[in-house]
Chain A
Amino acid sequence: MRYADLPDHFAALDAWRADHDLAPGEIIALECATTVPGAITLLHLLARGFSVVLLPPAVPGAPGAPPRLCRRRLTVRGHIVNTAGHAAGPANLAPDRPASFLAITELAEPGPPPPPALATGHVFLRTSGSVAAPKLAVHSHAGLLGNAVLSLERTRLAAGDQIAIPVPLSHMFGLGAALVPGVAVSASLRFIEAANLLRFREHERAARPSVAFVTPALLATLVRPDHAGPPRDHYRHIVVAGDKLAPALFEAAERRFRRVLNLYGTTEMGVIAVADADDAAGPRATTVGTPLPGVALRLDAPEAPDASGAPDASEPGAGAIVCRHPHGFTGYLDDRGAAWPGPPPLVDGWYRTRDLGRLHGDRLEVVGREDHSVNRDGRLVVLAEVERAIEALPGVARAVTVLGGDGRRGRRVLAFCAPRDGHALDATHLRGACADVLPAYAVPDHVVIAAALPVLPSGKVDRRRLAADASAIEMSAPPPREGTV
């Protein structure tokens, strides 16, 4: 469809909403496929002033119930994936007929009415947690737009671009770095639903994109270092958000896609920094460039990652990234729409991202997470939650997780497990049991059975010692099927 057709699509959506008594003032939960109808619906709701809670298409095993802040959920059906994460049946989805792609459902147990000030003009993004209750980051429409326009300083999207969007529109990366900036400059946008390496390549051959927004996990499957094939000369650059790329992956990606721009952002602050396309490959390989204009960064002393009091030895010299952003979020709500009960996330406008970084001159290198968690497959995995889940399995007395080397889904996770008295544990069996209680991206790559876990004189588990053991285990026996949980 063309931008010129947008008013007609919006009018059709107005009519559909009138039939369903859906008007601004009701905060709607939008479960949005990465498709043209998904994008049109989202843009329509924003243009009409709705407050929207954005939800990804449901993934089996991941938390996904809509927040109780909403009375109803609007689902944009996909061509490939329906809301249960299964294949959609044969469907005749037409972007100009909202009834063909929209479904609205009443939600059980809605919470109290939302605060009037938030009932219109806001977007709520769920922060990813692996198992814990999610919270909602609150953005105003103006903030979201300001954030998106600011990111154009580096992504340099333009009207002539063909932009490939294989990432969810419900996350800040897809929404705030790709969709909204792309629309702001009237670029051609193409959405890749249920993206995998096969669908991405099909899209690439058909659309010859000039820019693509990809996650490190997808990128790792698009680039085959042993036979990368010829460079695709239709690309100007790709934008990658997430963990730092391994040097070999960065180099292979630069050959194939011309340039790789690493982007750093969070659900709360939107896009914070993006590498400059004019920078040399060296700084672009290791850093996310300088902060965007008007964004301020500082590095604070990192917290000790666990109760042992020992700072994380794996990232010497790194500090906790604290950020002030002219278009960042305004605060958190809990899932019911009530004020977040935790400590205020913004202190004098500064937000602690819980990421660890180093500065190279003005350029930021993001090295990992502060709070004993890790980004795997684009999702935050809090290792303490993984430990609790394993400890709830039969026969497990104690589980302690440590991070290993880089796998395709992110840093590998090793779980050291001590059996309860009188129980015998089998590593393979226990790892299978983990897959029953944890989403796939949170299942440890290695389960190691240890009769006793090493302890410090204080009686606390010696995580440094386990981290050393983990390195030795990975050196002597790399996972037989790397990272594919």
Chain B
Amino acid sequence: MRDFVVVGLSHRTAPVEVRERLAVAPQDLERELREIAAHARLEEALLISTCNRVELYATSANPLQATQEAKQTLAKRLGDAAGDEVLYQERGIDVVRHLFRVASSLDSLVVGEPQILGQVKEAFDAATEAGTVGTLLGRCFTQAFATAKRVRNETGIAEGTVSVSSIACELAKKIFGNLEGRRTLLLGAGEMGESAARSLRQTGTHLHVINRSEERAQALAESCDGRAVPYEHLTTELVEADVVIASTASPKFILTPQLMKGVVRTRRHRPLFIIDIAVPRDVDPRVGNMDNVFVYDVDDLQQVAEENLAVRAREAALAEHIVEDEVESFLTWRRSLELAPTIVALRKRFGQVAEEELRRALPRLQSLSEPDRAVLEAMSRSLVNKLLHQPMTELKAGAGAPDGALLIDAVRRLFALSEEEARPSETSTQPIAEGKVTQLTAAATGPTGESK
């Protein structure tokens, strides 16, 4: 019976030097996917490759064997250096749950980070292009996107940023509104300062760099697409800047209240946001008490990051509930794809139509005798049976084939058979539940306990 499989590695199981060996460039994704699918004999296949994870999702009529082959394919790419203990695997409904968690950014290094959903979508598009996505993976991923959207909308998991650079950017936006055309002054050449300056540059601010060593300033300015300014112009630059990132190695305060008093006066009280990333600090704390001057040091930013992480952890618990909810709804759909309940539902639908029409016609045929009536009823039944005969035969023959799920899905949609009609409890007593019927996997009805 056809079921889901996932094999892969992530930041949880493998260090970056191992992960990068498996990583697939976006432009190669389609080709690689076709090769892997053909090689490992997978019916459907999809490859997610980001800097934090590489995962192969697949469906196969023989999930056990497919897991082994997929694992071997990936292990071969890893080479000898790393054993296959860095690879994890899941089967059945656990794959669906895993994917929903990944897409919702619950499995990310930084929980709630927004990029992963886009990356999963790109992977899905590539696999669709490569023609390796069928009904099962298609539905599974579509629902994963919906789950991620729900998690995003209904929980605060993505609220607040958690890296020092992006917190600096967020704060700057909260002070100035639009950052387009504002000016950032990077003071010193610390690494964290540089990364914060880069983030601000990306939001559309101009960047000026001042450093004791002009060569270093020049190099930094070039690498960040900014302008180097001689150290003597410090006061003028402070007057004109909107955001100042201080990250010098100076042992003393550089931005003293005396210096800043004059600066603020010349600025005519325009707001100034100073980010002091240097240790020891570059900015005298008293500067932070001045009107329209806002000073955040590295501890403040770190604290914000930790608070936001704590909020996210709380919200992640809520998100897990949403994931379970969606997994449940996926199971309902999956059950509806079984043959037995579909046949029952199809018969029921046709039978209902025939009965309804009879009920409407009989009162108008009052001259009918009892035997005539019986003939009419027998005729309607046989009409239904004859009409259903061919579709039933095709369904039973096709359900076992690789694209059986597709066929059943099509029938359900053509005759508008709802998913609820396919509950196993309603169908267990039906006579057509034979050996050939597609069933739920063990994983679908409860925890497998064997997937690891």
Whether chain B is bound by chain A comes out as no
Instruction: List residues of chain A with CB under 8 Å of any chain B CB.
Output: none
Using a CB–CB distance below 8 Å, which chain B residues touch chain A?
Answer: none
